[in-house]
A and B are shown apart, each in its own frame.
Chain A
Amino acid sequence: MIELHNVTKFYKTSKGKKYVLKNVTQTIPTDVNVGILGRNGAGKSTLLRMLGGIDFPNSGTISSDKTFSWPMGLAGGFQGSMTGRQNVKFVCRIYGKSDLEIEDAIKSVQDFSELGDYFDMPIKIYSSGMKSRLSFGLSLFFDFDYLIIDETLSVGDKNFQVKSKAALRKKIENCNVLLVSHSMPILKEICDAGIVVNNGQMTYYDDINDAINIYDDINKQK
């Protein structure tokens, strides 16, 4: 369960405050996979980061006793000067993995992400697709209550997409997912419930199809 209580989040811009969430109180129940929909710039990624505990509202509280993955997204979240291998080691270390487990992780991430020689090159030369492959491959190695995924299931070639979707489906047998995506088929396939973020409000729907319909309506109005 994730509880949002009177949550307000805004960005200061030269034209005043731009609200992502304005005084939102909402409970996200346990054991559902949630898809998050919204137009570009509506604040989906910010919401995702706040749910994952690495960004914070300007006021109000978000509380949960679950564990969350880091957000897997196109934006990266890796230290650019480190190589793929060093980043894998780093993340394993902060999760307290032993040297033996780190060896395992390196092997499995290397296999899964299909980065080849790039695995030993600095992340800053990676394409965004390569970053998210590394990030997703690494996350499979850990046990979280929630996986946080920001638009990364549609990267890579056809083969990789099939592979990562299969891996995700296997993974979510034991955990839940918070997923931002613009791809309706993926949302329908993976998520049970949906959240639509629009105009500083987020609305929770028990059925992902309802959320998708509302989102379509919003798009038609504009």
Chain B
Amino acid sequence: MTKRTSLTIFKSVILALFLREIQTRFGTKKLGYFWAIFDAMLMVLVFAGLKSAISEKSMPGVDFPVFLASGFLAFFLWKNIVSKSIGAFSSNAALFNYVQVKPIDTIITRFLIEILVTSMATVVFLAIGLYFDFDITIENFNMVILAVAWLSLFGFSIGLFTAIIGTFYETFTKIVNIIMTPLLFVSALMYTVDSLPSALREIVLYNPLVHFIEMIHGNYFSVLDTKYVDYEYMFYWTFIPLFLALYFYRKAEKKIVSSR
């Protein structure tokens, strides 16, 4: 058998895993396309409805449903990258029978798929926005893309980290899963940080996701700014878990595959 370089092997494994996951995700009778937009759509409808029911004043210069959609799409991208990474090792365990398939490949694949799914969902949302005549103009397109890319990497770091630690300490996975739900309410998704009372603002800013969402909102809407975004804080939250995860992965790759 001809020797292939590890990069060639890596690429063919990722492609094979990618096609396999797409097939299971969007195969027949799975409603995959529907679920891809469901989460974010539901949240937009619920909170836009609530907002118009309970308060008259809204953000001037911002179409509130667009504000919600941009934040929730980004939030669910992050959340899905993390939670899909957590299950990646166990649901692909049978494929580790092939020497070429390394555990981290399954996480990279799921990461790519989540980005693809969110991109498709975003196109659907933009189309709906256009149809209903919402103001979907993006003030600073490049910065929004940068923020989303960075957010995805942040998700990858946390996902990989949790997947590795969770392989050996199951409790850790449970804790991360428990944190996920309340995050929805404390991540500046249905309000801006600026609109919060200052005491609350300080607490909320400890949540790294808030900075990412503010970075997206601030660059999306011309009337909003990014004065609360702390890039250094975001950097630490992305790269410390990433390097720790990669370090642990190097140590534990064989143990993840080994029978115990």
Contacts and interface: CB of A to CB of B under 8 A. Distances in A.
A90 B100 CA distance: 12
Contacts of B15: 93
A54 B99 contact: yes
Nearest to A92: B16
Contact of B9 (A12, A52, A89, A96): A96
Contact of A55 (B8, B101, B257): B257
A82 B24 CA distance: 8
A94 B13 contact: yes
B94 A54 contact: no
Contact of B98 (A70, A86, A143): A70
Interface string A79-94: 1111000100111011
B1 A143 contact: yes
Interface in B83-126: 92, 94-101
A12 B260 contact: yes
Contacts of B24: 81-82
B97 A70 contact: yes
Contact of B94 (A79, A93, A143, A145): A79
A56 B20 contact: no
A54 B1 contact: no
A53 B260 CA distance: 16
Nearest to A76: B94
Given A90-B16, A94-B101, A46 B94 contact: no
Given A86-B20, A143-B1, A55 B100 contact: no
B4 interface: yes
Interface in B58-105: 92, 94-101
A143 B92 CA distance: 25
A144 interface: yes
Nearest to A175: B1
Contacts of A93: 12, 15-16, 19
Interface in A4-55: 11-12, 46, 49, 52-55
Nearest to B100: A94
Interface in B227-260: 254-255, 257-260
A67 B1 contact: yes
Interface residues of A, number: 32
B8 A96 contact: yes
B23 interface: yes
Contacts of B257: 54-56
B98 A94 contact: yes
Contacts of B23: 82, 86
B260 to A, nearest CB: 7
Contacts of B258: 55-56
A12 B168 CA distance: 14
B20 A90 contact: yes
Among B13, B16, B254, residue most surrounded by chain A Cβ atoms (within 10 Å): B16
A78 interface: yes
A71 B4 contact: no
A68 interface: yes
A68 B12 contact: no
A95 B98 CA distance: 10
A86 B15 CA distance: 14
Contact of B259 (A49, A53, A80, A81): A49
A49 B254 CA distance: 13
A87 B16 CA distance: 10
Contacts of B12: 93-96
A182 B165 CA distance: 40
User: Which of B1, B254, B257 has the most chain A CB atoms inside 10 A of its CB?
Assistant: B1
A86 B24 CA distance: 10
21 contacts: A12-B260, A46-B259, A53-B99, A54-B257, A56-B255, A56-B257, A76-B94, A81-B24, A82-B20, A82-B24, A89-B16, A93-B12, A94-B12, A94-B13, A94-B16, A95-B100, A96-B9, A96-B12, A142-B1, A143-B1, A145-B1
Interface of A: 11-12, 46, 49, 52-56, 67-68, 70-71, 76-82, 86, 89-91, 93-96, 142-145
